[in-house]
Chains A and B, each alone.
Chain A
Amino acid sequence: MTDALTDAIVLDMHRCMVRIRIFEETAGKLMEDGRIPGALHLYVGQEAVAAGVMVHLSNEDWITSTHRGHGHLIAKGGEFDRMFAELYGKATGYCKGKGGSMHICNMELGMLGANGIVGGGPPIAVGAAFSNRFRKTDRVACTFFGDGASNEGAFHEAANMAALFKLPVIFVCENNGYGEFTAQANHQAIVDVADRAAGYGMPGVVVDGMDAVAVYEAAGEAIERARRGNGPTLLECKTYRFYDHVGVRGMGLSYRSDEEVEYWRRRDPIPLLERHLAEQGILSAEAAKAIHDEITRDVQAGVEYAESSPMPDPDALLEDVYA
């Protein structure tokens, strides 16, 4: 059975969400100031999903992530210093500066990489789940993907094979309402991606992706089901991307209304959880602020580590192409 929800677990999820939020806010600004090269897809707004799922997983459970992947790695145990170093393209980054934001990974934490290809993760997660069973472990694989990716053929093939083989994999759809700049209503004729689960012969569950506790409970059930050998679940978390497809300021396109953004911001998963924690007497507002301050300092330390780290040596260019 899923572990009963203890205060410690809720506090873990809260800390995880704040870590993601402050990391992402900082990284986004650094990119827009030209300090971090390339493009960052920020996870701000979606933190409850990563936190609520990952709190169930150990380092031996695998995940695959998306182009919006920093939050998944932080929730899986990623350290700020190595993560910022990777975003800066520094030799000390998790991928020696060769992957960057869109390919950041940590195999030791069971994180099989962010992925620049929409829909790239699910087939790989099914492979990891296949491997879990082949190697006779009780470990699971969770694949995160968006509503946009649910239209990719890769998702279809992966879901069908996972259900057919009853593999220990959880398909976590982070439905943030947009595939890049295209609203869900303009990219699929359904409202709930979870409806598709029936077509594969697996349970489909919809959960409020802004509510960490709700995600925790639904994910726990799906993960337990997978560990027991009963096969995959499609868990759809309704969530929202507070910032643009890329960056904080974004590209200035008018594809969604201020009212819509404001509606979802009122459902910000972090204040939502903090109100719950305060009401339950688990964490006071002052204590919560202290956590934010502490994590802000940790993030700053991570940025300093990255900025003072060396760029990759020229020899690194041709290293690691082959084993």
Chain B
Amino acid sequence: MAEASPQPRNLPYVAAITDGVREVLKEQDNAFVIGEDVAGAGSVYGYYKGLLDEFGPERIYDTPISEEGIMGIGVGAAATGCRPIVDIMFMDFIGECMDEIANQLAKMRYMFGGHARLPVTVLTMAGAGASLAAQHSQSLEAWLCHLPGLKVVMPATPYDAKGLIIAAARDDNPVFVVLNKVSLAMTGEVPEGAYEIPLGQANVVRPGNNYTIVATGRMLHEALKAAQTLSELGIDSEVIDPRTLQPFDTATVVESVMKTHRVMVVHEAVRTGGVGAEIAARIQEEAFDYLDAPVARVGAPFSPVPFSPALEALYVPNAERIVAEARKQLGL
């Protein structure tokens, strides 16, 4: 396994995705990429650009617009010895292939008594904030986290995008890598060579001692901004990015809460029934006696994602809303 090079190098999130997939195709002969407009076009986001030339048409395949068929190829090829990287262009489209995901991919190993391995990596794009309206903007990770047999990661930074893609592809289970379209141009340090972010391991991005904010995906950056504002109010926030939502690193969050006694969970998805509800429940199960306030939750309101930029700005959680909710929770 190649180690990360020590040379610092900044790349945008989109190029970090490319880099991650490139490392996977280099290290796994039985890996291939399959999806809509992934080969010739390099994906609508451009993150496969160059890979067709680099690896050839036997490693990257364009398909018809047929998400159920694509996911079926992932399931059937993985069960028979390949390690497919399946691309679902917008996360909203998982509805088109939910049978393959929920009834086949997630369960096949269990139903078969352990006699199948399904090493499928699914790359898919979530996130609102680009005026793409209700069917191209959703964050549906809670749907996937509800399905035993799947793993779900949500990279917030270029570094994590590359490292989580590599970890996902090395895992012998189906792993969904839920990317964020608004973050594509965001730059950050991305080492050359292969490295992995271990699945199921949260990252304490900002240490703090009297408040905890657990923020998933792009909300990490809003939480970090909010932490800055809150520090001016005397609140020293510890900001945790779970990075993997399933399996969830409960221990890191609980350890933080035992220290800070107050906690908020932030995600971009609709608040009702979101992963934040599960995280809040786990905190209360494992650290109830340490809590000085109810667990706060910030998420999108219970509505489809609106189109109009004016409404969408109200819809997507941001640093201001995190601060406002924290002040309410803490009585500041």
In the complex, chain B residues whose CB is within 8 Å of the CB of A116: 103
Indicate whether B268 reaches chain A with its CB closer than 8 angstroms.
no
Q: Which residue of the partner chain B has the closest CB to A96?
A: B113
In the complex, chain A residues whose CB is within 8 Å of the CB of B99: 117, 120, 154
Judge whether A161 and B80 touch: CB under 8 Å: no
Judge whether B82 and A134 touch: CB under 8 Å: yes
Which residue of A112, A154, A321 contacts B76 across the interface (Cβ within 8 Å)? A112
Indicate whether A93 reaches chain B with its CB closer than 8 angstroms.
yes
By CB atoms of chain B within 10 A, which of A96, A125, A131, A141 has the most?
A131
In the complex, chain B residues whose CB is within 8 Å of the CB of A210: none
By CB atoms of chain A within 10 A, which of B73, B79, B81, B172 has the most?
B73
Indicate whether A322 reaches chain B with its CB closer than 8 angstroms.
yes
Q: Which residue of the partner chain B has the closest CB to A136?
A: B58
Per-residue 0/1 for A126-164: is the Cβ within 8 Å of any B Cβ (1 yes, 0 no)?
111111101100000100000000000110011011001
Which residue of B75, B115, B151, B172 contacts A123 across the interface (Cβ within 8 Å)? B75
Judge whether B111 and A103 touch: CB under 8 Å: yes
Indicate whether A319 reaches chain B with its CB closer than 8 angstroms.
yes
Instruction: Give the CA-CA distance A195 to B192 in the complex, in Å.
Output: 54
Instruction: Give the CA-CA distance A132 to B173 in the complex, in Å.
Output: 21
Which residue of B72, B77, B113 contacts A154 across the interface (Cβ within 8 Å)? B72
Instruction: Give the CA-CA distance A163 to B246 in the complex, in Å.
Output: 37
In the complex, chain B residues whose CB is within 8 Å of the CB of A131: 76-77, 80-82
A219 to chain B, nearest CB (A): 20
| CB-CB under 8 A for A127 and B75, given A95-B113, A320-B114, A322-B149 | yes
CB under 8 Å from chain A, chain B span 49-82 = 58, 63-64, 66, 68-69, 71-82
Q: Which residue of the partner chain A has the closest CB to B116?
A: A107
Interface size of B as a range: 35 or more
Judge whether A124 and B104 touch: CB under 8 Å: yes
Which residue of B74, B113, B116, B172 contacts A93 across the interface (Cβ within 8 Å)? B113
Judge whether A134 and B76 touch: CB under 8 Å: no
Judge whether A127 and B77 touch: CB under 8 Å: yes
Judge whether B77 and A323 touch: CB under 8 Å: no
A151 to chain B, nearest CB (A): 14
Indicate whether A62 reaches chain B with its CB closer than 8 angstroms.
yes
Per-residue 0/1 for B250-269: is the Cβ within 8 Å of any A Cβ (1 yes, 0 no)?
00000000000000000000
Instruction: Give the CA-CA distance A64 to B100 in the complex, in Å.
Output: 14
Judge whether B76 and A125 touch: CB under 8 Å: yes
Judge whether B75 and A107 touch: CB under 8 Å: no
Indicate whether B110 reaches chain A with its CB closer than 8 angstroms.
yes
A129 to chain B, nearest CB (A): 7
In the complex, chain B residues whose CB is within 8 Å of the CB of A126: 69, 72-73, 76
8 A-B pairs (CB sep. < 8 Å): A94-B115, A107-B116, A123-B76, A135-B80, A154-B100, A157-B66, A322-B109, A322-B173
Further contacts, 12 of them, CB under 8 A, given A99-B112, A154-B100: A64-B76, A95-B115, A105-B111, A113-B111, A113-B112, A123-B104, A127-B77, A127-B80, A134-B30, A135-B82, A157-B72, A320-B110
